Amino acid sequence: MKTYIVGNWKLNFTVGEASIYLHKLLKKIPNYRDLEVVISPSLIALQSLSLQIDRHKMKLAAQNGFYRDYGAFTGEVSFSQLRGIVDYCIIGHSERRHIFGEDDKMIQKKVAAAMRNKITPILCIGETESERAFGETADVIRDQLIGGLSEVADDELEKVIIAYEPVWAISSTKAAKLASPDEIAEAMALIRKILAETYGEKIAEKVPILFGGSVNPSNAGGYLTVPGVNGLLIGGSSLILSEFADIIEVAKRVKS
């Protein structure tokens, strides 16, 4: 299975700044085998970066998309419009869930629309600090996972990537703290168990599961050695060229 390093740039960089960053990053990293590097810039930069990117070295991901392919939906961009521009799309990120109010039904529709348009969904799941404190972690993970995948058939599951990103461990949150290896391993095992119960063990084993939550060059190697972790979803450190390049190099060493 590949190792995935996904940089989520969120609401950062102008189109020009994104282009300069990509140019420098392409010069800095080689073509890695069995290591998929993905960057997810803001929507406005995707078209121009798709013409600039070397797809042998890395791929593009959208940060969002609308579940209808066309229609009277002012301001939205559909997955059919993103097709051919991006290979991946981040869906169900905690900021989409908790700031923009996206529920499991909406996220399920987006996952289905991405797959319909040959775009690999990176389905994000994870509990808040209060949900964890009240012992609701397993229920939240189960609900978000099953809810997001409810329209995914057995033979399509291996085309999906899951990203476990506990909200309490994201660096942009006020109460952020680092997740321990044991906490991550427990969540990974639970996710794999739920997938196995729903789709069967053989199919579940083929699904990449990423971890995200205050990932940086100093902890990336440790996270990648946690049982069940197949890659990383990175926020703040993906905005700093040297740090993102270091994480990619760490991932290559761990993979080797």
Q: Is 165 a catalytic residue?
A: yes
Question: What is the pTM assigned to this prediction?
Answer: 0.95
Contact 197, 157 (CB under 8 A): no
* Candidate list 36, 95, 127, 165, residue with the active-site label: 165
Q: In degrees rounded to 5, what are phi and psi of residue 68?
A: -95, 140
Domain of 128 in residue numbering reads as: 3-255
Which CATH number characterizes residue 116's domain? Answer: 3.20.20.70
State the pLDDT at residue 178: 84
Task: Clarify whether 23 is annotated catalytic.
Answer: no
Distance CA 213, CA 172 (A): 9
Catalytic residue among 36, 93, 95, 102: 93
Q: Residue 200, Cα to own-chain centre: how many angstroms?
A: 23
CB 20 within 8 A of CB 58: no
Helices (H), 11-159: 15-28, 43-52, 79-82, 94-98, 104-116, 129-133, 137-148
Contacts of 168 by beta carbon, 8 Å cutoff, 6+ apart: 127, 128, 129, 132, 175, 176, 177
Number of compact structural domains in the chain: 1
**Per-residue buried b or exposed e for 47-77, using 16+ beta carbons within 10 Å of the residue's own CB:** eebbeebeeeebbbbbbbbbbeeeeeeeeee
Task: Compute how many other C-beta atoms are within 10 angstroms of the C-beta atom of residue 30.
Answer: 9
Q: What is the pLDDT along the chain (256 residues), one digit of tens a residue?
A: 899 999 999 999 999 999 999 999 999 998 888 999 999 999 999 999 999 999 999 999 999 999 999 999 999 999 999 999 999 999 999 999 999 999 999 999 999 999 999 999 999 999 999 999 999 999 999 999 999 999 999 889 999 999 999 988 876 555 557 889 999 999 999 999 999 999 999 999 999 999 999 899 999 999 999 999 999 999 999 999 999 999 999 999 998 7
